[in-house]
Structure 1
Amino acid sequence: MFKRSFYVLWGSQTLSNSADVLYLVALTTFVLERTNSVVFATLVPFLRVTSQLFSGFIAPLMIDKYRLPFLLTLSQFGQFALFGLLAGYVSPWFGGEEMLPVYGLIIGISFLDGWTTPARNALIPRLTDDRVLMKANGLIATTDQIVQFAGWAISGVLVASFGAYPVLLGVAVCYGAAMLATIWIEDPTEPARRSLWDIRTGSRSNGGADNGSASRWDTLKEGWVTLWKSPRLRSLTFMDATDMLGGSVWAGAFLLVFVNEILMKDEKWWGYINASYFAGAVLGGLVVVALVERLEKRIFPAMLAGMLGYAAFTAWFALNQYAPLTLLIVLLTGPFTELAAVSRRTLIQRSVGAEMLPKVFSAQSTLLNTIFGLSLLFMSGVAEWFGIVNMYLFAAVISLLAAGVGWMHRKSFETAVEAK
């Protein structure tokens, strides 16, 4: 079923994701306290996403040259080292006040983090049997949501109780522990490592050619070309992209406007809805894991059901004005969201070979980060011109469109499952 390295990967990524949540809250609080400026504070998540975007562009070069476990180790070590510098700079003993070094370190940390997701998603099918791949994706998705759900609440309490600096030290420790864990991950598709420093891919470490002397440009575009040429991958990527476009409506600012203008409630209800949203996502992950044997036999219909259910509940959310019912709607949205997301990720992992998969995930991650940033601006315009209710209805229509694309290409999905 699951190889030992899968559990190591699972644990290290849980630690890393916990550190990400802690550092975003702690650093945003620190910048806000030092500058008393919302603009400077919002630069923290903006620089993070932008840096990850550029990192995703060059990730194929690193993937082509180095083993995936080494890339994870390198990413975690770099983040650990940079966080050590950051914690030292803002410490009471050094007392750094300038924001430029802080922003520079954020860019460096986020750049290294941009390699993590494609490497992790590509390693999962290598470290599990195919018959339990969907279960593995469900377990990791559930853990991700638990970290998000608990992390934002706990990190706020920690920062309020101890201050930003001690929390940043805790983040550095989490990254250090995650880095040490990744050293023990073994990729079974690669030749056994001869030493800890055997870090290059099999073709390089064995003295092979440089992938047919392919140019760097060819390496950079391989994942993009594969996404475009495969009808199945193209459809899945379109569905992920539209999901990201519509999913941006759950960003905090939009929800706050909906709570204030439609539900006529204060910021407390904003927090309740956020908590209900993450609780629903956790519930969804648990449902997927519990029903994985049944879902495996109907993975394509499960994916469409998830997208259609998400669209229906998003529309219901938009049209509802009763606050307590809103919490239930958002909670029930979670299982459909996770069902669609886990099904799509599993289908992608089964639709391309192990060697090409990390490059495909890297290209897709870059595309989705770009779309998410643009969608925030686009949905802001929709909300401004047509109202917040129509924005959520528009998001529901987008999800219906994505499900329609999947149905139009259903033959390619059936072939994919049978081929496996």
Structure 2
Amino acid sequence: MFKRSFYYLWGSQSLSNTVDVLYLVALTTLVLDKTGSIIFATLVPFFRVIAQFLSGLAAPLMLVRYRLPFLLTIAQSGQFLLFGVMALYLSPLMNGQSLLPIYMLILLISFLDGWTSPARNALIPRLVHDDVLLKANAMVATTDQIIQFAGWAVSGILVAAFGSYPVLMVVAAGYGVAMAVTLFIEDPTESKRRSIWDVRTGRASASSEHSDQVSAPSRWDTLKEGWIVLWQSRRLRSMTFMDMTDALGSTVWVGAFMLVFVKEVLLKNEDWWGYINASYFAGTVIGGFLVIALVNRLEKRLFMFMLLGLLGYALCTAVFALNTFAPLTLLIVLVTGPFTELSAVTRRTLIQRSCTKDQLPKVFSAQGTLLNLLFGISLFAMSFIAELLGIVNLYLIAAAISVLAAGVGWWNRKVFAEEHAGTST
């Protein structure tokens, strides 16, 4: 059912995501303590998103040339070494004070991290049978949400108790362990590795041997292949639009928007911001377990449950916007979580079944690049809407966009009737 390499992938990426949360909290706290400036602290996640966007643009060149497990290994090896350099710079031995080396290291670390998401999502359908793909995605997504749910709280406690520098040492060690685990991942679609240095994918050479008259694709052709597949497939176009909507709508649940809603609509203090976030993440964890428990029923009507997730999310968002009773808000966001998870897991599964396994890494890379760009843009766009129309209307607009996304899916329902990957164009 699940190959052993899937458990290695699941474990290494779970550990990697855990230390990601640790390092974001530790570095943000460190920068804030050094400068007392929210702007300088905000540059930590900003540089992270920028670097991942640039990495996503270049990722296809790496994905077509090297085995996916090797890319995971090299990314986490680089992060391990870079965090070691950062820990040394911030150690009592050097006592680094300048923020420029810290920001440069964040850019490099995040650039390497940009390869991991498309590689992981493309590896999952290679490491499990198709009949348990939905369950595998739900297991990975649920673990991600548990890490997000518990990670931020635990990270804050660790940083407060021990300080940023010891936590960064733990982060470096965590990346080292994650790197070691990735060495055991075998891609069954590739020939068995002859040694640890056998890192090149066999597809490029195989395709070149197929015909001497057909030249190898240029770098530009490689870079644009994922984008072309996204555009030419109506099925992938529809789901990418839904993912873009999710990215656009998800910005209203984080950062300043939620804080403004808590203060202006609920008339509560910052503590309620934390309660609402905790309730939302708890809901997504519950949703992940529900998807795992109901996987057999969901498989029979995957497309319809995807639409149900979008519409349920839209309804909950609208009710959230119109509600002014703070305790009820906690229940609303708790119910929102399962719909969010249902929509996200079913979409990822449908994407994995909508193109060939060779195309999948480039498709995920292109989609991830697009979503990172949109997330950055949407922060500014949503800020403008909130200023112009008010925070309540912002959440109502987010709900309307989700309804629109469900409408796009329903409009293209015939292409979702295709059962096998690569048949819908």
Q: Pick the TM interval, shorter chain.
A: over 0.9
Matched, 1:332 2:335: yes
CA distance in 1, matches of 2:419, 2:369: 25
Match of 1:287 among 287, 290, 294: 290
Aligned to 2:53: 53
In the superposition, relative to structure 1, how do residues 212 and 135 fare at CA in structure 2: closer, same or farther (>3 Å)? farther
- CA positional deviation for 1:246: 1.2
- Could you report, residue by residue, the CA deviation over 1:206-231 in whole angstroms, capped at 9, with x for unpaired residues? 69559941110000000000000000
In the superposition, relative to structure 1, how do residues 207 and 259 fare at CA in structure 2: closer, same or farther (>3 Å)? closer
Instruction: Judge conservation of contact 2:21–2:155 (CA < 8 Å) in 1.
Output: yes
- CA positional deviation for 1:113: 0.1
Match of 2:306 among 303, 307, 328: 303
| Aligned partner of residue 264 in structure 1, secondary structure | coil
CA distance in 1, matches of 2:166, 2:209: 49
Instruction: Judge conservation of contact 2:16–2:178 (CA < 8 Å) in 1.
Output: yes
Matched, 1:379 2:382: yes
Report the aligned-residue RMSD: 1.4
The more displaced of 195-204 and 173-182 is 195-204
| Aligned partner of residue 190 in structure 2, secondary structure | coil
Tell me which amino acid in the other structure corresponds to 1:54: L
Instruction: Judge conservation of contact 1:80–1:176 (CA < 8 Å) in 2.
Output: yes
- CA positional deviation for 1:121: 0.1
- CA positional deviation for 1:205: 6.4
Matched, 1:389 2:402: no
Tell me which amino acid in the other structure corresponds to 1:75: A
Tell me which amino acid in the other structure corresponds to 1:266: N
Aligned to 1:413: 416
Instruction: Judge conservation of contact 1:198–1:205 (CA < 8 Å) in 2.
Output: no
Tell me which amino acid in the other structure corresponds to 2:370: L
Give 1:103-118 correspondences, 5 Å limit: 103-118=103-118
Tell me which amino acid in the other structure corresponds to 1:194: R
The more displaced of 190-199 and 246-255 is 246-255
CA distance in 2, matches of 1:59, 1:191: 22
Aligned to 1:34: 34
Matched, 1:89 2:89: yes
- Could you report, residue by residue, the CA deviation over 1:224-267 in whole angstroms, capped at 9, with x for unpaired residues? 00000000000010110011111111112110000000000001
Matched, 1:259 2:262: yes
CA distance in 1, matches of 2:205, 2:224: 23
Aligned to 2:80: 80
CA distance in 1, matches of 2:50, 2:243: 19
Give 1:205-224 correspondences, 5 Å limit: 208=208, 212-224=215-227
Aligned to 2:14: 14
Tell me which amino acid in the other structure corresponds to 2:186: E
| Aligned partner of residue 416 in structure 1, secondary structure | coil
Aligned to 2:198: 198
Tell me which amino acid in the other structure corresponds to 2:293: A
- CA positional deviation for 1:35: 1.2
Aligned to 1:140: 140
> TM-score by structure 2 length?
0.97
CA distance in 1, matches of 2:209, 2:240: 32
Give structure 1 stretches of 5+ with no counterpart.
Answer: none
Tell me which amino acid in the other structure corresponds to 1:230: S
Aligned to 2:370: 367
Aligned to 2:186: 186
Tell me which amino acid in the other structure corresponds to 1:24: L
Identity of aligned residues (%): 67
CA distance in 2, matches of 1:336, 1:70: 35
Aligned to 2:276: 273
Aligned to 2:159: 159
Give structure 2 stretches of 5+ with no counterpart.
Answer: none
- Structure 1 stretches of 4+ with a deviation exceeding 6 A read none
Match of 1:226 among 221, 224, 229: 229
Instruction: Judge conservation of contact 1:263–1:321 (CA < 8 Å) in 2.
Output: yes
Tell me which amino acid in the other structure corresponds to 2:49: V
Tell me which amino acid in the other structure corresponds to 1:338: E
In the superposition, relative to structure 1, how do residues 231 and 207 fare at CA in structure 2: closer, same or farther (>3 Å)? closer
CA distance in 1, matches of 2:203, 2:228: 22
- Could you report, residue by residue, the CA deviation over 1:152-191 in whole angstroms, capped at 9, with x for unpaired residues? 0000000000000000001001100000000000000000
| Aligned partner of residue 92 in structure 1, secondary structure | coil
The more displaced of 247-256 and 17-26 is 247-256
CA distance in 2, matches of 1:29, 1:120: 29
| Aligned partner of residue 192 in structure 1, secondary structure | coil
CA distance in 1, matches of 2:120, 2:234: 24
CA distance in 2, matches of 1:212, 1:83: 41
Matched, 1:348 2:322: no
Tell me which amino acid in the other structure corresponds to 2:154: I
Instruction: Judge conservation of contact 1:12–1:179 (CA < 8 Å) in 2.
Output: yes
- CA positional deviation for 1:203: 3.1
CA distance in 2, matches of 1:409, 1:382: 30
Instruction: Judge conservation of contact 1:65–1:200 (CA < 8 Å) in 2.
Output: yes
CA distance in 2, matches of 1:379, 1:34: 30
Aligned to 2:238: 235
CA distance in 2, matches of 1:92, 1:403: 54
| Aligned partner of residue 415 in structure 1, secondary structure | coil
| Aligned partner of residue 199 in structure 2, secondary structure | coil
| Aligned partner of residue 285 in structure 1, secondary structure | helix
Instruction: Judge conservation of contact 1:203–1:209 (CA < 8 Å) in 2.
Output: no
- Could you report, residue by residue, the CA deviation over 1:117-139 in whole angstroms, capped at 9, with x for unpaired residues? 00000000000000000000000
